[in-house]
Structure formats: structure tokens, C-alpha cells
Chains A and B, each alone.
Chain A
Amino acid sequence: MSEKSYRDAIRDAMMEEMDRDANVLIMGEDIGVYEGTFRITAGMLKKYGPKRVIDTPIAEAGMAGTAVGMAMLGLRPIVEMMTMNFAIVAADQILNHAAKVRYFSGGQVDVPMVIRGPQGAGVQLSAQHSQTFESFYAHFPGIKVVAPATPADAKGLLKTSIRGRDPVIFLESAALYGMKGEVPDDADFTVPFGVSRIAREGSDVTIVSYSRMLQMSLIAAEKLAEEGIECEVIDLRTLRPLDLDPAYESVAKTHRCVVVQEQWKPFGAAAEIAASITENVFDELDAPVARVTGEDVPMPYARNLELLATPHEQHVIAAVKKVMYANG
């Protein structure tokens, strides 16, 4: 174990896998000479050279399409999107090609590629650059969607992504890049897909979340603990595959559930999670599953408005009290 930042954990995962497998390469905008807008790829061009660390033009569809071709022929490309917002340009390559090739080829051709990059609000990047995309991608069969909340999970899940057979959307939280945590040093440390974890044990309310909102939920849980309310916090880690079994077990214990997501409320991940909980453990619920989400607006640039448009601990605390029928 050593203490690493979320950012360094992502870089370590890529470099360890590039050391391990010569077929692994990375491409993206400003990732080589400039070493990445968020410094994720610092030092990689120098170590692996321009054949494996490829600076691309500003052409996300081309990057994704190139990666699909590479992957079909045996390479394991990683595409860094400067932010996941720019991957919308490449949506056809990702959703209609990467996600479909195995199916269309009758299982003959895999597309082992990773599209990774930061997403989310909180850094005053306004409406086009502050979005979150987990429900957008997780809607489609044929791809995996990963959203780690800790440095260790960032590393372990990225390594699983690179080693797998599937196209993976690896959603990083820009706001978590500087977050530090204990990360295993073992070069073969991986975290499997579809295994949620209990990030905090509690008996009163189950909070289900992932990525940055998971960390925020943990802060809310600590504040609630000061008032004597113990929340169990479930970290989903991957949205597709989605492992809700620990959430079901937890709700069977607490009988109350709050789902926290950064993205907009309509048709979001929280809607899917809340519906699944209702379907599977209906009789255990003592209150409707509550959702904490961002406001249903394009993200404002103004800092005060951005703060109002994004979910915060206070909203989680209020939701927890609401499902407990506690006033205040």
C-alpha cells in the first residue's frame, strides 16, 4: 500500500498495463508533449514513445473510430477524452460500433478498448463542459460503464478495463483527481466489475451512490452520525454491470433508501436504482426511495448558481431525514 492521488492511481494503472502488455497504447488530445490537460499522462510519452502515446488532432470521432479498428485487430487502445463531454462527438463510434461489433460478428470479434476522461461539475466550466454521462452510456448493452470513487478503485477498475474484452467507458471525476488514498502496490491488483462495496456501515438509512457523490455522501453520513443517524453507504463502482445486491440487503436492514447522483434527475442512474430497489425489496421499504440529484438546468457558469445547481451534503442530509420521517 502507498498513498496515491486518484490522478496518480489512474496513471499507474495505465503504465503498469503498458509495461505488462505491449498491445496497450493511449491516444488523445494533448496527452503526449503537453502531458495531459489534467496531467494524467505526465511522463508517458517520454517512457513509451510516440507509437504508444499518440497525440491526436481535435477529432474525437476519429480517435474513437481508430480505437475500434485497433481493438478489432488485437490492440488494446485507451482513448483519453479531454473531458467526457467531448466524447458526444464520438457517440456513433462508441454506441453504434464499439458496443455492437461482437454482436454483429456473431461473437467472433471483441473490441477491448477504454474510453476514459473526466466529467462532472464544480469547476465553473459551464453548461457544455460540466455534464455527467453514466446513464447515457449505461443505457446501452455492449459496453461497460465504470465510475470509481477512490484512488484504489480508480486503479483497480482501470486495470480490469484495460485487460477485459469489452469497450469500457471509464468515467473519472475531475473533482476527485487530487483526492488521496491508500492504493495497493501489487502490479496485479485489480477490482472486478459488478461488485459493489459497502463504503460505510450503518443501520438507519441506505445511501446508494458512486464516484464523487459517494465521497460527498460519506461526508453527509459523518455529519448525520453526529445527530445519531447511522447511514450505510453503498459504492456501486460500476453502473454496467450494476450490482445492487448489497443495496437490497442493506435496505432489508434499514428499510429506507436515498440514491445520490450528480446528473439531472429525469431518466438518471438514480431512477434506475430506485426502481430496481422498489421492484426487488418493495416490502422492506418504509418510505419512498428518495433521490438527490443535480438541478434540471444546463449548468450555469456563475459560481453561486453552479453551487445551487449541484447536489451537496445538505441535500443528502435533508433526504435522509425525509425518508426517516424526521423533521428538520
Chain B
Amino acid sequence: MAEIIMPKMGDAMTEGKVVRWYKKAGDAVKKGEPVLEIETDKVNLDLEAEQDGTLGDVAAEAGKMVEVGGVLATILGAGEKAQPKKEAAAAAPAAAEAPARRAIDKKDSIKHSTGEYGEAIDMKAPRVDRTSAPSSAAPASGDNGRRRSSPLARKMARELGVSIEQVQGSGPGGRIVANDIKNFKPSAAAPQKAKASSLPPVQKLETKEIPLTAMRRTIAKRLAESTGPIPHFYLTAEYDVTNLLSLREQINEIAGIKTSVNDFIVRAAALALRHHPNVNASWGDEAITQHGEIHIGIAVSTPEGLITPVVRNADQKSVTDISNEVRTLADKAKNRKLTPNDYQGSTFTISNLGAWGIEEFTAIINPPNVAILAIGAASAQPVVIDRQVVIRDRMKVTMSCDHRVVDGALGAEYLRTLRSYIEQPVRLIL
């Protein structure tokens, strides 16, 4: 007796389908004669009789799935009787490793010239495509938080002025593709960054010590030796305050309070420090301390002398709040009612002699700060804009810097950021 079993026609094959029987139980079969047709996930095959005999039980009807190794039929030799019917699926899996039967590929109709290879090509196995990124709901950002995007998508984003960070990618792995840019609606996302002039990013404020590097120690030592305990240097910038003055007028009119130009400058200086926390710092022999909060000292003259009450967390306060607070502090100072809490702990100082008509001056750093702003008087000046002479209000600001901590370029960058706030004062109320 011989069995015809479901052959394993490929590593991936676990079962096959009986398509049709050419013979029925009791029919005589010859060795090599096709007995039935099966279908695998790749091809259709005829299974042949391995010996002469009579077809015994047919274990699976046409249309049935049978697992690999399962018995499909038996062929009985002369005098042999049919065995009790076996369940095809119950066959031991080990039978799967039995020698494969000879098979004839039914679908292999070959055309050598071009194309038309039919279904014989298995599109699932065994080709491995490593170029496909997982298309599941992968995060929109790729490795290291970088957002995946096609070159064309980036080009289109540049041309359309779309910020690619705001676009949701629909491609594999969240890749942003051309269609995503095309279909992007800016209103649906966060407001676009103002195009005017780009500010350096606002940095996370935290109190931390930055250990002194050898270079920093050397800079500190050499500069201190040459110019005294705090090696000062000075940077002067002239800002256009026309818009700021007009904004102040409007606020005073609407809010019914009397803000000063200095209140705006306090807020501007504090906001600018957010972009340059390394200016909001103190020098120490072992480390530079960067402060996690922004407290602006304001130089106030009293009959007794100079004192600098502090507006704490000035970057988190509105111009009007600052204005009220400064007025209270100044009154307290003049009445000698300041408590240490009112005048200690500044991280940055502003000195304004504009009210005295001083155009520009230099201030001495208020330790342990590493910088101070000296604000001059605003005055109407002829300036050239677009090759036209126009009258604008201008104001000179001089920053004194502790060179041990603040190098020239850093001070200059701070003044450039400050310019954005002062010349586009709408940023102060955003």
C-alpha cells in the first residue's frame, strides 16, 4: 500500500488545496498516472501514483485544504483492503519531511519573449525588500527626532514657505512627501513662525553649573590680570524706538496707566535673556553659574546713593506689571523701605540715564551679574531708509560685559536679539 500525501512545495507552504480528483475510489491506477490536482499558494500540480494498484479511500474531497504531510489517498496493491478512513489533518507533521512526490507544474506556461508570465510569479516570497520602512503608524519623526521627508517635499516646502515641522507625513515611517506639502493647511497647525527676522531659539531655563574649562580659566585669569577684578568691555548699539514709543503711547492711552520706556526695556532685556541664558550668569572661581530664572535689577538713584531693586522673573511679567512693580520699588527705595529681598538676587541689571538726557554712557557691572545695560535717551534723528531721509526715534544702548563669561560675539548676539524685541515691540506683548 502506498499513500499519496500533501507535498511540501516550498519552505513557506503549510497546507495545500485539493483541486480535483482524476480518479475515484476503486479506480485502477498505473504508476506515474496523475491521480489528483492540488493547488499550493504558488502553483497547481498533479500528484501521480507511485505504484500500480487500485485507489483506496480518498481522504479529502475537492476544495478541501489539507496540511502538508496529510494523507490524500491510498493506493492498494493486489489483494490489499482499504484501511479505516484517516483524518487527513491528523497526519504526523514529520510526514512533511517525506520525500516530495514528483510533480508537474500546471501553471508553467512559458512565453519567452516578453511578459505574460501569469500567476506563476509569487509576489510575496521569497524576495526580501529591505528598502521599505515600516508603513504602520510610525512616529512622524525619524531617528534622533529628525523628521523624514522627501527631497521634493523639502523643496516644495522651501518654495511655498511652509515650515516642514508642522506637516504630518503620510509616507512610510511618517515620511513627509510632496502630497503632504500640497495638502498642508497652515491654519490647521500651529501658527507659522514670523518671517520678519528669526530669533535664536528660546532655551530651557535651569540653574546649573558649567565647569570652567581650561580656556575659560585662562581667559578669566589673563583678562582679570590686565583690567582688574572684572574685565569689562563695552558694546554699543543704536536702536530704532519709533514703534516702541508709539506702542507705549497706545498702551498708556488704553490701559490708563503711565508706563515708562524703561518698563519696555526691562521686559525686552528679560525676553532676550531667554535666548542667551549664558548672559544670565555669574562668575565663580570653579564654575560659571547659569541662572534658571531671570531677575532684572534696575538702578535707582536715591539721595543716599545707588540701589538696584529687582524685578523677579521679569520675562514672565507683562509691561504693565513691570511698570507697577518698578514704581512700587522706586517709591520704597526713595523712602528707604526696601528689604534685602527687594534688592538682592538680580541676574542682570539695567541702568537708564535717559531721563537725564544722557545720550550714551557705560555702566559698571553689578556683581555677581556679568552684564549691565546702560540706556541712553531716545531722540528724533534723521536716518536713511530705502534711500530716503526720514525722522526716526533712536536710542543708544551700551552693554558692559564681564569678559570672563561673556565674549564679544555673545554680547553682540544678545544685543541683536534685544534689537528684535525693541524694534518690533509687538513681540513684547505677544
Which of chain A's residues have a CB closer than 8 A to the CB of B117? 307, 312-314
In the complex, the answer to whether B150 meets A303 with C-beta atoms within 8 Å is no
In the complex, the answer to whether A255 meets B152 with C-beta atoms within 8 Å is yes
Query: How far, in Å, is B209 (CB) from chain A's closest CB?
Result: 45
Binary interface encoding of chain B residues 94-135 relative to chain A, with 1 for a CB under 8 A from any of its CBs, else 0: 000000000001001010111111001111001100011001
Which of chain A's residues have a CB closer than 8 A to the CB of B122? 308
A284–B126 alpha-carbon span in the complex (Å): 32
State which of A176, A287, A307, A318 has its C-beta within 8 Å of the C-beta of B150: A287
Which of chain A's residues have a CB closer than 8 A to the CB of B112? 122-123, 174-175, 178
Which of chain A's residues have a CB closer than 8 A to the CB of B170? 325
Known: A303-B105, A308-B122, A325-B171. A288 touches B110 (CB 8 A): no
Which of chain B's residues have a CB closer than 8 A to the CB of A220? 115
Within 8 A of B (CB), among A190-220: 212, 215-216, 219-220
Query: How far, in Å, is A4 (CB) from chain B's closest CB?
Result: 15
In the complex, the answer to whether A283 meets B171 with C-beta atoms within 8 Å is no
Closest to B116 in A: A219
A219–B131 alpha-carbon span in the complex (Å): 25
Chain A contributes a number of interface residues (CB within 8 A of B) equal to 34
State which of B126, B131, B132, B172 has its C-beta within 8 Å of the C-beta of A308: B126
Is B178 interfacial (CB 8 A cutoff)?
Answer: yes
In the complex, the answer to whether A285 meets B108 with C-beta atoms within 8 Å is no
A284–B152 alpha-carbon span in the complex (Å): 5
In the complex, the answer to whether B152 meets A313 with C-beta atoms within 8 Å is no
In the complex, the answer to whether B177 meets A178 with C-beta atoms within 8 Å is no
Is B327 interfacial (CB 8 A cutoff)?
Answer: no
In the complex, the answer to whether B151 meets A303 with C-beta atoms within 8 Å is no
Is B153 interfacial (CB 8 A cutoff)?
Answer: yes
In the complex, the answer to whether A283 meets B152 with C-beta atoms within 8 Å is yes
Is B43 interfacial (CB 8 A cutoff)?
Answer: yes
State which of B110, B114, B135, B154 has its C-beta within 8 Å of the C-beta of A215: B114
Is B155 interfacial (CB 8 A cutoff)?
Answer: yes
Known: A283-B154, A285-B151, A285-B152. A304 touches B105 (CB 8 A): yes
Which of chain B's residues have a CB closer than 8 A to the CB of A86? none
A313–B121 alpha-carbon span in the complex (Å): 10
Is B20 interfacial (CB 8 A cutoff)?
Answer: no
A116–B136 alpha-carbon span in the complex (Å): 49
Closest to A122 in B: B112
State which of B123, B171, B178 has its C-beta within 8 Å of the C-beta of A318: B123
Closest to A219 in B: B115
Known: A212-B114, A283-B152, A287-B177. A307 touches B172 (CB 8 A): no
Known: A290-B131, A304-B43, A307-B121. A283 touches B114 (CB 8 A): no
Is A185 interfacial (CB 8 A cutoff)?
Answer: no
Query: How far, in Å, is A210 (CB) from chain B's closest CB?
Result: 14
A178–B152 alpha-carbon span in the complex (Å): 42
Within 8 A of A (CB), among B163-192: 170-172, 177-179
Is A225 interfacial (CB 8 A cutoff)?
Answer: no
Query: How far, in Å, is A147 (CB) from chain B's closest CB?
Result: 15
Residues of B within 8 A of A (CB): 42-43, 105, 108, 110, 112-117, 120-123, 126-127, 131-132, 135, 150-155, 170-172, 177-179
